[in-house]
Amino acid sequence: MADSDPAEADSIFIERPTEFVVRDAFSLGAAPLALAGACGLLGWTTAGFVLLGLTVFVACFFRNPPREIPGGENSVVAPADGRVIDVAEVEGSDGNKWLRIGIFLSVFNVHVNRCPLAGRVVAKDRGGRAFLAAFNRKAETENVRCALTLETAAGMRFQVVQITGLIARRIVCHPQVGEWIRRGDRYGLIRFGSRTDVLLPLTAVAKVKARDRVRGGSTIIAEFESTEG
C-alpha cells in the first residue's frame, strides 16, 4: 500500500471541501439569521434568540477544521468524527469477508468525510431509500448511502460508505471513478446526523473498539503489517 504512486489513476482527486466552514452553512443559515434580525426589529426577543441559536448551530455543524494526518501508508485513519458503534467481521454483497468499522456521527460532530487510505476509486455506488436512525442495524442495508470502492497501489481493495441517518437527507460525495485520493483527504459530507463505515480486508488489525471516540483524519482505527523487508 502507498500514499503515492497512483500509476493506474486517471487523475488526482482535488480535495474538497477545504474551507473552514463548508459553503452549505451560508445558504442554510441565511434564512434563520434573517428571521432573527426581523424578530429583533419587531421586539420578539425570545424568538430572535432561538433563531440566532439555530444559525450558530448550522455554522458549527458545517465546520471543517484542518487535521494533521498521523501514521504511515499502512495506517487507516478514521473517515469521520464520532463514536465507534461496530467493529466486526461481516460478509459483503460480493460474498467476501470484511472487517467493518462503523462510526456514528451525532449532529454535534464534524460531518466532513476523509479518505481512510490512499487509493484509486474503482466504483461509486448509491443505494437505499430509508432514513432510519444511523445506529439501527437495518440502516446498514436500507438507508440511503453512497459506497466508494478504492484500490491501493498494491492492488488491495477497501470501501468507505456514507450512510444517512434519521435526520440526514443528503450525501455529498465528490470523487469520480478513476481518481486517486490521498489518505486523509476530505472528499464529501453528510447533512445532519449520519454514519460512515470502513470495510477492510481481514488482514487489517483494528485499533479501536465499540464506544471509542474518533476524529476524522486524526485517529488511526486500523493498521496493516508493513510489507517492507
Buried b (16+ CB within 10 A) or exposed e, 193-221: bbbbbbbbeeebebbbeeebebbbbbbbb
pLDDT in tens, 33-46: 999 999 999 999 99
Say whether pLDDT at 195 is over 60.
yes
Whether residue 8 has pLDDT greater than 80: no
What domains, with CATH codes, occur in the chain?
Answer: 11-16+67-223 (2.70.70.10), 24-61 (no CATH)
Amino acid at 23: R
Confidence category of residue 132, pLDDT binned at 50, 70, 90: confident
Residue 5, pLDDT above cutoff 70: no
Number of separate helices (H) and strands (E) present in the chain: 3, 15
Any idea what DSSP says for residue 78?
P
Q: Is 194 a catalytic residue?
A: yes
- Read off the C-alpha cell for 117: 487510505
What's the pLDDT score for residue 229? Answer: 39
Active-site pick, 27, 93, 106, 194: 194
Q: Which DSSP symbol is given to 63?
A: B
Asked if residue 184 has pLDDT above 90, the reply is yes
pLDDT at residue 9 tops 90:
no
CB 206 within 8 A of CB 186: no
Residues 31/24, Cβ–Cβ less than 8 Å: no
